[in-house]
Structure 1
């Protein structure tokens, strides 16, 4: 089995110690120096030094560097764990690529995952997956875990949040192969595959305006620093500008948190229901809604029903709707092409792995499905 990059660095340093080029007490090249010397990321060089430290060959002193701790006797080299595992299991391994996502469901994510699995196999890679449930700590842990497993590249759907993940940014800055899917990071040069959410939300809003609505609300989780939601809010506002209509900012309710993966146990739904009920009572003139997520749309219908109102009096559109038991769409909605997004993400990652130039952004066309 071909060694992972960090293992190649590891054995290079072992060889230098064995040959006497590095003696006990000598300083070993730093993460930065190794990365520059071998043309790899600092994540890779760091892993090599950590493996050496685990074997007791070097001692890492914070703020000073890594130093040779003991010699390597002839015939007494450290054990090559990954190669031993391959021999013991007699399994032909393929290189790994990782996929990190908050969560996936029937309305969005499941088809994306299936497409990525198929496309990874077509390129002779194995795909490993980690769900983070919207937790920043879990996202960081997943990145560190995948790197320690020797993945060749990483596909990520970053969590909703106020700040970019430092571990993810470090990978990008170290030029580790990374592709974002269903997101992009503003101001950060990283390859991304996503729907034109601005145009999609604009299409939905124009559909409602075309049906005679002028009082239209926008419902969403907090949009800050989540490019998907920021663009959907922008598309909603641009539709009013295009049609010369007045935009009522109080009609933008962007504080719904119950549908976020981190709140998957549903305990936050009660506060969201109260917020929606309060909105409907305060703005009874609003009969049309652009919901940024399918779960927001379904929560709204529950509140309308629980308030004793007729759903026939309301027009609700959203993203990624499911069908009813007759196979008809529950809501007029934007259907994202998850298959092309998944395939595109893997293709772009593999292109990076073989040294090809890739575009910073690849936008996948969407469709609007109109409910009869």
Structure 2
């Protein structure tokens, strides 16, 4: 069987990294450059880069490009693992296909560990995994679901697309009782099995932690909630903390129109727009002493804006967020909520297999989290 084009690009780049032609922190060619070099589509070149990200060989830095990771995978172990997995699968009967639908290949700040554990658990149980990407598009989600059904998958694990409406194909799966597990979020009013972090309690705890450090004027920054349960619950947790403290929440301190982290938008254009919004907000709200970012990437955008204004973290502003990159690109380690990606992945597979075997499973399955203190929050008394 001829090797796919994206696999050739992936192997060539991996060889360059392994032999030292590309060193840690070196920038790797862009999707367009690779597409031109190999005379392929940008979808093909992106798939090659996505696979390098997935194994930890390269890291994507929003707004800057892709770079060779500081900490590289063990290439010998990687090759041996691939060989061992292939030999094991060839010697065992395959139980069938499991479909996974995600917006795009996950980063190390959230999703990669979860996907790795989904794959590992399926492999241990001798199920093959078929992954489809939606790039945040509901049209692509529809197509992905239909494609997986055509491939006769036994069940589907899906990270639903953000949006005010659910896709018809997704609703059809639920109504037909097809084995299905949602990850990271649930569908309001729809009885679909979901595995996700206790986002409301997590945001409440994060806000309360800032209170203990003397911060009372805190802004919450996130993408639009738009029926996205994870964002909605984080906002609810933020407001609940204020309510229990007996302090009113200034509605102007809820900034929920950040778009640069969403895959459906032109990131370079939205990155500039988000920076402009945040800069204006900071300049117009001198009472603010702390921020909670609904996502790690938004915390990074915020940090760049504060730096451009000559402000220091944590001396001038405290910043906390959800999730965190395992590879630091600067000296900031955000105080953050660390989601249990490993358990989310394993739990999703277990619940899916129970449905495949005809068992009834709980609809809502919340996973605990950990609040990790970094170096981006200091007591307001010290500020």
Q: How does 1:257-296 map to 2 (within 5 A)?
A: 257-263=259-265, 265-296=267-298
Q: 1:365 & 1:264 partners in 2: Cα distance?
A: 33
Question: SS at 2:107's partner residue?
Answer: coil
Residue from 241, 244, 255 that aligns with 2:243: 241
Q: Which deviations, in whole Å up to 9, do the C-alpha atoms of 1:250-272 show, x marking residues without a partner?
A: 00000011111222643211111
The offset of 1:328, in angstroms, is: 8.3
Tell whether the 8 Å contact from 2:198 to 2:368 is kept in structure 1 after alignment. Answer: yes
Q: Which deviations, in whole Å up to 9, do the C-alpha atoms of 1:302-336 show, x marking residues without a partner?
A: 01111222233110000001246499871000000
**CA RMSD between the two structures:** 1.9
The offset of 1:92, in angstroms, is: 5.5
Q: Which deviations, in whole Å up to 9, do the C-alpha atoms of 1:262-302 show, x marking residues without a partner?
A: 22643211111111011101102112011000011000000
Q: Which deviations, in whole Å up to 9, do the C-alpha atoms of 1:207-227 show, x marking residues without a partner?
A: 111100110000000002000
Gaps of 5+ in 2: 1-89, 376-383
Residue 193 to residue 325, structure 1, CA distance change in 2 (3 Å)? closer
Residue 183 to residue 264, structure 1, CA distance change in 2 (3 Å)? farther
1:119 aligns with 2:125: no
Deviates more, 1:124-133 or 1:246-255: 124-133
Tell whether the 8 Å contact from 1:319 to 1:335 is kept in structure 2 after alignment. Answer: yes
Residue from 159, 182, 185 that aligns with 1:183: 185
Q: 1:94 & 1:221 partners in 2: Cα distance?
A: 39
Residue from 322, 325, 329 that aligns with 1:322: 325
Tell whether the 8 Å contact from 1:133 to 1:264 is kept in structure 2 after alignment. Answer: no
Residue from 342, 346, 349 that aligns with 2:349: 346
Q: How does 1:222-241 map to 2 (within 5 A)?
A: 222-241=224-243
Gaps of 5+ in 1: 1-88
Q: 1:334 & 1:264 partners in 2: Cα distance?
A: 27
Instruction: Give the paired residue count.
Output: 284
The offset of 1:203, in angstroms, is: 0.6
Q: How does 1:37-76 map to 2 (within 5 A)?
A: none
Question: SS at 2:324's partner residue?
Answer: coil
1:207 aligns with 2:214: no
1:100 aligns with 2:101: yes
Which structure 1 residue ranges, 4+ long, deviate > 3 Å from structure 2? 89-94, 323-329
Tell whether the 8 Å contact from 2:261 to 2:267 is kept in structure 1 after alignment. Answer: no
Q: TM-score, normalised by structure 1?
A: 0.73
Question: SS at 2:336's partner residue?
Answer: strand
Corresponding residue for residue 365 of structure 1: 368
Tell whether the 8 Å contact from 1:222 to 1:255 is kept in structure 2 after alignment. Answer: yes
Q: 2:249 & 2:333 partners in 1: Cα distance?
A: 27
Corresponding residue for residue 146 of structure 1: 148
Q: Which deviations, in whole Å up to 9, do the C-alpha atoms of 1:28-52 show, x marking residues without a partner?
A: xxxxxxxxxxxxxxxxxxxxxxxxx
Q: 1:306 & 1:276 partners in 2: Cα distance?
A: 11
